[in-house]
Structure 1
Amino acid sequence: MSSQDVTQRFIFEHADVRGELVSLNDSYREILSRHAYPEPVKALLGEMLAAAVLLSTAIKFDGLLIMQARSSGPLSTLMVECSSQQEVRAIARYSDDLTGDSLRELMPDGVLAITIDPARGKRYQGVVSLEGETLAESLAGYFDSSEQLPSRFRLLADGRSARGFMLQALPADRQTDPAERAESWNRLSTLAETLTVEELMALDNSTILHRLYHEEDVRLFDGRPVCFRCSCSAERSGNALVSLGREDALALLAEQGGEIEVDCQFCNTTYRFDEKALTELFDRASEHARSLH
């Protein structure tokens, strides 16, 4: 399979059903290279990465899609951000005595929040309990009940590659008869369940669709690239210090021995600010404030 990080949409010409296939290789490995995660955490984080990309393609928006799972179990946090340009970053938090390898073992009372944070407009958030055996089952349950959009997911990751498959019913358009729509969905989703782990991890998208739907009229669109990109920067870190106020920031500087370190939890980049840099930050902020009056 190609090492290209890509997501591809497909539709059925005679049914109100769409789908998406995503493969993540370089971006997934880049995220994992920033942290020494145990193998079970690598796998679940890869599944969530694939899921976030799949969901981001189903929503028409300009901004961020954020998936965050929390639990009181050994894996306390999984968080993935995917922009509308399919730029991804992710992080996990877990206990030192991590045991188990399944979602139920690692996040026994887990809750998943899916947040749409548009560049313009209001944030939207949906929440689902992680009640399924897998993340894919939990997501399907969420869309079936909360969004009234029957959906099926296959999510796989092994620490090197992450793959995702989504099938989703669409509002009535090509098929207006409810019985006909139900029959099409049942047929196409049943065929999707025959996709094996080996096929999803090893085959290219066009071959997968041919294996599953060679008797269907299905159209595969051009792929869209996916890449790792962290949104942290020296400017954003400096703005966080400015928000403390000059007096508190200078006190923090003295407390930390003359240099403040601001770490990005996602990519582990460290931004350092000494007294000179801190003074320049506040001077610029003051000049900007005066220019607004």
Structure 2
Amino acid sequence: MSDTISRFIFDKTDVRGEHVRLEKSYQDILNIHHYPPGVANLLGEFLAAASLLSATIKFEGALILQVRGDGEVPLIMAEANSERELRAIARDANQAMSLDFKTLIGNGQLAMTIDPKHGKRYQGIVSLDGESLAHCLESYFEQSEQLSTRIWLDADGKCASGLMLQELPSKTPDKDRWQHLTTIADTIKSEELLSLDADALLYRLYHQDAVRLFEAKPLIARCQCNRERVEKALLSIGQSELNDIVLEQGLVETNCEFCNRLYQFSAADIAAMFNENTDIVRH
């Protein structure tokens, strides 16, 4: 499988890890929007990062990574859910020419949102002080979660991959062991991260350490948009304004910005929407 995420642990330590490698899902997302090279690479890193982070949380729902900045890319985000479905988008980024993270993102904030199917949303925010997405995420964990976490990300427009090591809470943390494992991981070359599967990469790094790799799980690019969600968004616009659009254009049409799927609503559809939601205040 070319699109997989794999968990691994180091025996007799409190260190766990995740490895992700994306090809088809990454290509499927890029083929919708045709981003410039630097944006395509950064979007791949966001997809890999969202996959890694969502795998560490036991919940039903979605994890969303989003950056709003003043650089060449005003907004970029990736989402991974508990069904291991991925989607991502960079908004107003077709003119971005840089390959540099800071130039693309500029000044802004990195937000990590956990959106469970049941319960309240949680959002953590960290400033974009790092020189890469991986560094910014490491700062997030240091400030917000207080978990020692190291992340390595790479993408080249064809493949996106990532590796994460995380030290779990322990009464007797072994800092020497943590230093040993992360120092070895720092030797990863870009071509190795992009080309090797989890088994080969872990052997390359840790063939002298007791590491246990679990069965890989598949990932897929799939948008979670549906007609019901679009209807909820249209309800917030108001019946009067929607009726004006129908009078002018014949239909209300809207595209999902993630998958570009077209949704159409006739005058009868609009009337039915508001009749079914009688608590909506009409203007």
Measured against the shorter chain, the TM-score band is over 0.9
Asked if 1:131 corresponds to 2:126, the answer is no
- 1:48-87, aligned counterparts within 5 Å? 48-87=46-85
Asked if 1:266 corresponds to 2:261, the answer is no
Equivalents in 2 of 1:136, 1:239: separation in Å? Answer: 35
TM-score between the two structures when normalised by the length of structure 2: 0.93
**How far did 1:200 drift?**
1.1
Letter in 1 for 2:9: I
TM-score between the two structures when normalised by the length of structure 1: 0.90
Q: Which runs of 5+ in 2 are unaligned?
A: none
Equivalents in 2 of 1:163, 1:31: separation in Å? Answer: 15
In structure 2, the residue matched to 1:118 is 116
Letter in 2 for 1:262: T
Asked if 1:276 corresponds to 2:256, the answer is no
Mapped contact 2:44–2:155 kept (Cα < 8 A): yes
Mapped contact 2:36–2:97 kept (Cα < 8 A): no
SS of the residue 1:7 aligns to? strand
Give the percent of matched residue pairs that are identical in Structure 1 and Structure 2. Answer: 46
Per-residue Cα deviation, 1:143-196 (whole angstroms, up to 9, x for no partner) = 123211111111111111100100110111xxx534xx1011000010111111
**How many residues align structurally?**
279
Q: Which runs of 5+ in 1 are unaligned?
A: none
SS of the residue 1:146 aligns to? helix
- 1:1-293, aligned counterparts within 5 Å? 4-94=2-92, 97-172=95-170, 176-178=171-173, 181-255=174-248, 257-285=249-277
Equivalents in 2 of 1:169, 1:132: separation in Å? Answer: 21
Equivalents in 1 of 2:98, 2:190: separation in Å? Answer: 21
Q: Rate the CA distance shift 1:145–1:276 in 2: closer, same or farther, 3 A.
A: closer
- The range that moved more, 233-242 or 76-85, is 233-242
Per-residue Cα deviation, 1:4-61 (whole angstroms, up to 9, x for no partner) = 2110000011111000000111111111111021000000000010000000011111
**How far did 1:283 drift?**
4.6
Equivalents in 2 of 1:105, 1:163: separation in Å? Answer: 22
